[in-house]
Amino acid sequence: MNSVTVRVPAKVNLQLAVGPLRDDGYHDLVNVFHAVSIFDEVTATAETGMSVRVEGESADQVPEDDDNLAIRAALALARHAGRSYGVNLIIRKAIPVAGGMAGGSADAAAALVACNELWGLGLPVEDLMEIAADLGSDVPFALLGGTAVGTGRGERLTPLEVGGRFHWVFALADGGLSTAKVYAECDRMREATGEEIAWPRAADPLLAALRRGDAKALGSELANDLQPAAVMLRRSLARTLEAGREQGAVGTLVSGSGPTCAFLAESEAHAGELALSLKAAGVARDVITAYGPVPGPTVV
């Protein structure tokens, strides 16, 4: 086999509960991850060295050297296998870069699946999960797909039962937000108010709404502890979120560390209407529709 192409989805966090800052600088999280139908594609082709090229949505903002998460994943897999394999990766991006939709983690997961196949390693998903956890806290979910609760730094995953398909509208912003800066702003805002930070746990009403496939109930339970910090760093997001509420979204939230905003619709038709209204309101660089949950990386 000379070449393998893998399609991998973006994620939105339906609940992102951030615990107190730990001594090691991390936070304990409860993350309800949901994979949605915005896909990057990674093609791995056998080669002697390691190289990567990025095309598509905001490709100029993605490194094409060893800092690229997909190349780091390929290197980690070769190390795990104890061999000096080579690969050329071509990443076609549709997932917004630094948009809070874990595009880099998705590409890393896709590279693990593609290289495992290309190099004929046949490693089980448990081995890929271990490598994924070392690469970053969102990479294990990117490998799993669907809908799942992540605890710890997000890497301990429990898949969730979902009783239907949810329809989403995403408002893409100009430029990204640094995840590290958003966490730092969250810590700063919490320290300033002196609020007591509760131990994070998944919200039962949210899990029940997912089980029933009930968009209205899910919409009222969407929650992101990073949202105030993301809005503080990018004030225009308050207007974007407000526009979604005004146009009848059943739920609104900043996706992960932002700046992408996610709006939940009641149906596919409603998502189409909502997308048109948000485009007309001029509150985003681009507006796209998607549905979830979708499976994780798939060889195409």
Binding-site residues for ATP sit at 96-106
Neighbours of 6 (CB within 10 A): 27
Per CB under 6 A, 68 contacts ligand ATP: yes
Rounded CA-CA distance 300/284 in Å is: 32
Q: Is 43 in the site for ligand ATP (CB under 6 A)?
A: no
Binding site: what residues are annotated?
96-106
110 binds ligand ATP (CB under 6 A): no
The smaller minimum CB distance to ligand ATP, of residues 18 and 70, is found at 70
User: Does residue 146 touch ligand ATP according to CB under 6 A?
Assistant: no
Which residue lies nearer to ligand ATP by CB, 53 or 80? Answer: 53
Position among 61, 84, 236, 267 found at the interface with ligand ATP (CB under 6 A): 61
Told to judge if 67 belongs to the known catalytic residues of this protein, a careful annotator would answer no
Half-sphere exposure (CA, 13 Å, Cβ side) for 99? Answer: 27
Cβ contacts of 111 within 8 Å, gap of 6 or more = 6, 42, 44, 69, 70, 71, 73, 74, 77, 89
Q: Which two tokens stand for residue 99?
A: 């948009």
CA-wise closest residue to 296 among 143, 160, 148? 143
State in Å, rounded, how far the first CA of the chain is from the last one: 14
- Cβ of residue 80: shortest distance to ligand ATP, in angstroms? 19
Amino acid at 272: G
x/- track of binding to ligand ATP for residues 158-197 (CB under 6 A): ------------------x--x------------------
104 near ligand ATP, rule: CB under 6 A? yes
Is position 97 an interface residue for ligand ATP (rule: CB under 6 A)? yes
Q: Are 233 and 181 in contact (CB under 8 A)?
A: yes
Q: Show which residues are catalytic.
A: 11, 138
Q: Which residues bind ligand ATP (CB under 6 A)?
A: 61-63, 67-70, 91, 97-105, 107, 138, 176, 179, 256-257
